[in-house]
């Protein structure tokens, strides 16, 4: 069976020799033209028309009122957490089944992650498990939520839209509002994904996107903060530019700032990629339809977009029967010219986060033993 899968994937990419990567970028538009224009302008750093235009295009596409470009998705999430008021010794609820950047960004603020389980049908934070934890394990003090076990303030919830599949984000937002906890969406993987016709990253106080080399669109490296809050958007731009007070010649700074702004060069790529985004999403969804039809005739389950969702299918995923079968599949495909990868190791199993509070995460454990990503580049 594995041989037929390898042959099918090779047929999709019309490639019988060489190695088929998991997700490689496609540059089929104005990338070179805009890069040359950027170089000719000499504005290649964090100031230039392409940065402004890229922010504008992201805001328009997602429906957010404001977008602030950052050097990468991790930096964007770090700033988003600070903007939401996360402080040293606070706690932030997130999911253990995520890329490490989510947990790292929380740690950058001096806060500590608390790991709550995901739903099997979304691979994103479970609103049911979130509510159960908040009802049973927290208490209200002067309108704020505190962990009964640690007596630490829970200042934010950070769900992640795994592989572009939206979490049940509307339900999560309702819970966060009830408990007066800031909702920050890690939408790094979900540009072009919608939940109940609303773009991911726009439900919470702030959302963040990533444009790493393997994302749906890429700027080589890059991220974006999106929000409807004008004050937070202005502060985000200020903090990511070393918190420099505007002046014609003086160097004055009024916060601890960061060198987190995206370069005009990178944004030039982003503008061209945004011009192609609709076609990219269309191609990726068509690829998912092909995979779904193919795997219907196998013992391997193809992971489909959740109910009420429209996914960008950033990385297509399949579910094997168990960890042993998963490992056999990974070995065979990678040895036969098709790159496949397991889902991430659970955050609570990593040495940096082994002391973090973790609730019952049976769904996360079940998924991490079975999920494998298969080639998902635009055909």
pTM of the model: 0.96
Residue 100 lies in a domain: yes
Residue 181 lies in a domain: yes
Residue 219 lies in a domain: yes
Residue 127 lies in a domain: yes
Report pLDDT digits (tens) over 140-177.
999 999 999 999 999 999 999 999 999 999 999 999 99
Residue 361 lies in a domain: no
Q: Which pLDDT score, from 0 to 100, does residue 1 have?
A: 87
Residue 335 lies in a domain: no
At 93, the pLDDT band (50, 70, 90 cuts) reads: very high
Which is nearest to 24 in space by CA: 13, 8, 36, 11?
13
> What domain count does the chain have?
1
What rounded mean pLDDT belongs to the chain? 97
Residue 322 lies in a domain: no
Tell me, what CATH number does 37's domain have? 3.40.640.10
Residue 88 has pLDDT above 90, yes or no: yes
**Mean pLDDT, residues 230-244:** 97
The residue whose two tokens read 């391997």 is 300
**What stretches of the chain show up as alpha helix (H) in DSSP?**
2-12, 31-41, 49-62, 73-83, 100-108, 127-137, 169-178, 230-239, 264-275, 277-295, 323-335, 362-368
Residue 173 lies in a domain: yes
Report pLDDT digits (tens) over 167-180.
999 999 999 999 99
Residue 314 has pLDDT above 90, yes or no: yes
Q: Which pLDDT score, from 0 to 100, does residue 58 have?
A: 98
Q: Which pLDDT score, from 0 to 100, does residue 17 have?
A: 79
Report pLDDT digits (tens) over 178-192.
999 999 999 999 999
Structure tokens at 61: 């596409």
Q: Which domain does 39 fall in, by range?
A: 31-275
Residue 67 has pLDDT above 80, yes or no: yes
> Percentages helix, strand, coil for the chain, rounded to the nearest 5?
40, 20, 45
């Amino acid at each position: 069976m594995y041989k037929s899968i390898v042959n099918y994937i090779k047929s999709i990419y019309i490639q019988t020799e060489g190695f088929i990567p998991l997700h490689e970028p496609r540059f089929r538009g104005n990338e070179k033209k805009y890069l040359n224009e950027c170089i000719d302008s000499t504005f290649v750093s964090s100031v230039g028309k392409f940065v402004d235009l890229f922010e504008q295009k992201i805001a328009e596409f997602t429906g957010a009122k404001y977008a602030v470009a950052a050097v990468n998705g991790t930096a964007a999430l770090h700033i988003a957490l600070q903007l939401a008021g996360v402080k040293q010794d606070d706690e932030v609820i997130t999911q253990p089944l995520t890329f490490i950047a989510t947990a790292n960004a929380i740690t950058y603020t001096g806060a500590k992650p608390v790991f709550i389980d995901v739903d099997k049908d979304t691979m994103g934070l479970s609103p049911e498990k979130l509510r159960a934890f908040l009802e049973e394990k927290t208490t209200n003090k002067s309108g704020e939520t505190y962990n009964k076990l640690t007596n630490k303030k829970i200042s934010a919830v950070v769900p992640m839209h795994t592989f572009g599949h939206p979490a049940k984000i509307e339900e999560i937002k309702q819970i966060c509002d009830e408990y007066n906890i800031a909702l920050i969406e890690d939408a790094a993987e979900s540009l072009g994904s919608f939940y109940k016709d609303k773009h991911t990253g726009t439900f919470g106080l702030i959302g963040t996107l990533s444009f790493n080399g393997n994302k749906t669109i890429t700027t080589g490296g890059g991220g974006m903060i999106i929000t409807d809050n004008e004050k937070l958007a202005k502060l985000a731009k200020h903090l990511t530019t070393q918190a420099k007070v505007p002046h014609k010649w003086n160097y004055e700074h009024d916060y601890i700032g960061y060198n987190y702004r995206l370069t005009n060069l990178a944004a030039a790529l982003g503008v061209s990629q945004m011009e192609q985004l609709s076609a990219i999403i269309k191609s990726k969804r068509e690829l998912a339809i092909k995979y779904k039809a193919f795997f219907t005739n196998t013992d391997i389950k193809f992971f489909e977009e959740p109910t009420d969702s429209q996914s960008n299918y950033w990385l297509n995923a399949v579910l094997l029967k168990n960890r042993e079968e998963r490992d056999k599949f990974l070995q065979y495909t990678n040895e036969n010219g098709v790159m496949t990868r397991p889902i991430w190791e659970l955050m609570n199993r990593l040495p940096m986060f082994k002391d973090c509070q973790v609730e019952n995460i049976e769904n996360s454990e079940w998924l991490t033993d079975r999920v494998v990503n298969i080639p998902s580049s635009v055909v």
